[in-house]
Amino acid sequence: MSEQSCGGIKLLWYSLPSKASSGIKTMAGKQKRQPQRSCVGCREVKNKKEMLRVVRTTVGSVEYDPSGKKSGRGTYVCPAKECIDAAISRGALARALAMPVSRTELEEMRRALYEAISQTTLEKDNI
Ligand SMILES: [Zn+2]
């Protein structure tokens, strides 16, 4: 069906250019709405929605942000232990947030992120 309508747009291009171009615009707009972020642990670029967000809040603390909407400087990590560990132990997290993060805060963050990925796994199991 989608292939057929694509062909239709192509054919329309000759007779109705305005209609065809508006169709193309919609398609391009849809593709653009997939924000990508690179992981602070492995540097891989992934869909933002699949990642965990860590934010430096406006008061200067570091928090895990499940909503992804907290204001502040955010950074992203894959929901994987290897990436969380890399981000924490290599100091990549502090670098990405451009702030010093204490050992305690780092350990708390690691725990929060571990919890976040174990919850995701549980939810999947329940479904
Ligand atoms: Zn990663």
- Has this prediction a pTM greater than 0.75? no
Among residues 95, 47, 104, which one has the least CA distance to residue 75? Answer: 95
Q: How far is the CA of 115 from the centre of ligand 1 (A)?
A: 17
Q: How far is the CA of 96 from the centre of ligand 1 (A)?
A: 14
pLDDT in tens, 39-92: 999 999 999 999 999 999 999 999 999 999 999 999 999 999 999 999 999 899
Domains of the chain: 2-32 (no CATH), 36-126 (3.30.1230.10)
Q: How far is the CA of 63 from the centre of ligand 1 (A)?
A: 18
Residue 106, pLDDT > 80, answer yes
Question: Could you tell me what percent of the chain has a pLDDT over 70?
Answer: 69
Q: How far is the CA of 95 from the centre of ligand 1 (A)?
A: 16
Residue 120, pLDDT > 80, answer no
Q: How far is the CA of 113 from the centre of ligand 1 (A)?
A: 13
User: What pLDDT sits at residue 46?
Assistant: 96
| Alpha-carbon span 92 to 24, nearest angstrom | 41
What mean pLDDT is reported for the chain? 82
Q: How far is the CA of 92 from the centre of ligand 1 (A)?
A: 12
Q: How far is the CA of 20 from the centre of ligand 1 (A)?
A: 40
User: What pLDDT sits at residue 34?
Assistant: 85
Residue 12, pLDDT > 80, answer no
Helices 2-15 and 17-32: angle between axes, nearest 10 degrees:
140
User: What pLDDT sits at residue 33?
Assistant: 75
Q: How far is the CA of 48 from the centre of ligand 1 (A)?
A: 12
| Alpha-carbon span 29 to 81, nearest angstrom | 34
User: What pLDDT sits at residue 13?
Assistant: 47
User: What is the residue-wise DSSP string for the chain?
Assistant: -HHHHHHHHHHHHHH-HHHHHHHHHHHHHHHH---EEEBTTT--EEEGGGSEEEEE-TTS-EEE-TTS--SSEEEEE-SSHHHHHHHHHTSHHHHHHTS---HHHHHHHHHHHHHHHHHHHHHHHH-
